[in-house]
Amino acid sequence: MRAMVSAPQPEAVEAGLDILKDGGNVIDAAIGAALVQTAVDPQMCGIAGFGSCHIHLADGTHTLIDFHGRAPKATTPEMWEDLVVRECDDGFGFVLKGEVNEVGYQSATTPLTLRAFDDILNRFGTRSMAQSLQPAIVYCEDGFAIRPHVHGFWSRGPDNGRIARYRGLADDPTTAKIYLHPDGAMKGVGEILRNPDMGRTYRRIAEYGVEDFYTGAIARQIADDMDANGGLITMEDLADCQTLETAPIWTTYRGRKVATNQPPGGGLVIAVMLNILDRFDLAAMGHNSADYIATVSEAMKIATAEKDARMGDPRFVDIPFEEFLSDDYADQMADRIRRGEKTHVPRMNSGGDSKETTHICVADANGNCVTMTHSLGSSSGVVTNGLGFMYNNCMMVFDPRPGHAGSLAPGKARFTALSPTIVFDEAGDAPWFLVGAPGGTTITMGNLQAILNALDFGMTAQEAVHAPRFTTTSDVIEVTNRILRSTERELQARGYPTMRHAHSYMMPTVHAIRIQDGKLDGGADPSGDGMAAGI
């Protein structure tokens, strides 16, 4: 096997494989597959979204392209201060009067995804944007069979104070025409969903280029619609949309180099947890034993509390990188865990973000690989008439109270858990394990456990993403129904509050590829619709 693709959508995986078979490189395959994702998972991701792309190529190229959307220039720190109803039940975000931060025109940050895909193709790919759009256009125009995961999102009811997702399909008449039957009923699993307006938009981008979206006719259509409906995004905001290239954050775990992304992505959270856990013999504790879960959970809580208090958009927040990545810090935190101290995670607004996101991993046997997470947040529910694509709702995550690390500000990016990560082989030269996931604030916790599963317990990529997981982003350890009840009772006896989920699988939906001895094996989280496949 010379190359592999792993993603939550079979359509995207197959599109990536077709591009590789046709002579495209891993970049071509990743972007072509990601564009298909925008067509067949249109609330998880879209060209008006955001994300983080981690690239390593055999020629020595190693970089990250950050494309987090930013609050429009019309944003002010106090504009929603008087609209606060309460904090969300899970502590992640706020309920506002009119839900203006969650659904509708004001909920969108600047749309960076299309700009990023074009930048990445132009720099590292061999295909044009026009070529890369073709598979997505087919799915827009011919349609795709609605998968269970897509329908499950549409059917989700009110959660922790957030709206029922049906409103994201029904509130906007243009959106309703695409996603609902004429009587307002949702389309069912297996029904064909077509979006010819999105197909026409993609054809226009293919003909006139990405600039049409940011400074041309499409941009004018976006800005006019925003202006007519109280939105914040203007022509100036669109014209200023630029990606940011960054070097990776580096750490080591079990003697291997690990590279991950910079804030406002969540890679620093991954690095903090790995540094702490490198001080423990996790394998000797036993996978998912009470000792193991307690130790890893404490690392999760420490990193979460630090994320809430001292991490954010580095343009606006002074992040103590040197401290977080130091041996002294990791030693102190490890000693705290050994003493049996339980970290408290204050539940104010902890910068949580939606679980509605997607991911793509592509790798070949020569050491070229891409791991990219991209998203619409939980999607605004807004579609400009005639354009077909949905806008993000990333303004939802900002703190509407001025004076906080996550407060609103023009040009500011929301902090996210997006953390596409690469672990290198023992020599430190070639990628060995790449991982990423959708899943909101749980992304870092899922990515962490996949890495631990692969390195400490020798699991294949599929085993690493399939193994029972837990997550601890508060004082409560949340466990899936496959974690033994006897283990849960032991944790409770140690004073840990727990919450058992009815589901056997837990967000995030982790995807991974392992490259070992020149052979590739892939993993697709069984909680989703996806798969891993190679050529």
Reported as a single tens digit per residue, the pLDDT across 502-517 is 999 988 999 999 999 8
Residue 532 domain-assigned?
no
Q: 215 exposed, middle or buried (CB, 10 Å; 0-12, 13-18, 19+)?
A: middle
Q: Do 156 and 56 share a structural domain?
A: yes
Residue bearing tokens 């979006």: 195
What domain range includes position 16? 3-245+355-397
The CATH number of the domain where 260 resides is what? Answer: 1.10.246.130
Q: Do 388 and 292 share a structural domain?
A: no
From 329, 363, 397, the end of a domain falls on: 397
Q: Do 388 and 272 share a structural domain?
A: no
Residue bearing tokens 């944003």: 75
Q: Do 452 and 311 share a structural domain?
A: yes
Count of domains for the chain: 2
Residue 476 domain-assigned?
yes
Locate 237 and state its tokens.
Answer: 């905001």
**Sequence-separated (6 or more) residues with CB below 8 Å from residue 325:** 249, 251, 271, 272, 275
Residue 144 domain-assigned?
yes
Q: Do 229 and 310 share a structural domain?
A: no
Reported as a single tens digit per residue, the pLDDT across 409-448 is 999 998 899 999 999 999 999 999 999 998 777 899 999 9
How far apart (Å, rounded) are the C-alpha atoms in residues 425 and 474?
33
How far apart (Å, rounded) are the C-alpha atoms in residues 401 and 83?
10
Which residue, 473, 497, 501, 90, is CA-closest to 297? 473
Q: Do 308 and 228 share a structural domain?
A: no
Q: For 47, how many CA atoms within 13 A lie in the half-sphere containing its CB?
A: 29
Residue 362 domain-assigned?
yes
| Res 439: pLDDT | 77
From 375, 397, 419, the end of a domain falls on: 397
| Res 147: pLDDT | 96
Q: Do 125 and 232 share a structural domain?
A: yes
Q: Do 306 and 389 share a structural domain?
A: no
Number of H helices, E strands in the chain: 19, 20
Which stretches of the chain drop beneath a pLDDT of 70? 88-93, 157-162, 347-356
Spatial contact of 364 and 2, defined as CB atoms under 8 Å apart: yes
Residue 522 domain-assigned?
no
How far apart (Å, rounded) are the C-alpha atoms in residues 360 and 435?
9
Q: Do 106 and 150 share a structural domain?
A: yes
Q: Is 447 helix (H, G, I), strand (E, B) or coil?
A: helix
Residue 299 domain-assigned?
yes
Residue 424 domain-assigned?
no
Spatial contact of 94 and 100, defined as CB atoms under 8 Å apart: no
The answer to whether the predicted template modeling score (pTM) of the entire model surpasses 0.75 is yes
Q: Do 391 and 333 share a structural domain?
A: no
| Annotated catalytic residue, options 109, 357, 444, 471 | 357
Q: Do 12 and 157 share a structural domain?
A: yes
Q: Do 369 and 347 share a structural domain?
A: no
- What is the DSSP-derived secondary structure letter of residue 528? S
Told to judge if 357 belongs to the known catalytic residues of this protein, a careful annotator would answer yes
Locate 517 and state its tokens.
Answer: 């001895």
Q: Is 477 helix (H, G, I), strand (E, B) or coil?
A: strand
Residue 419 domain-assigned?
no
| Res 507: pLDDT | 84
Q: Give the sheet arrangement for strand 470-471, strand by strand.
A: 470-471, 477-479, 498-500
From 381, 397, 413, the end of a domain falls on: 397
Spatial contact of 144 and 80, defined as CB atoms under 8 Å apart: no
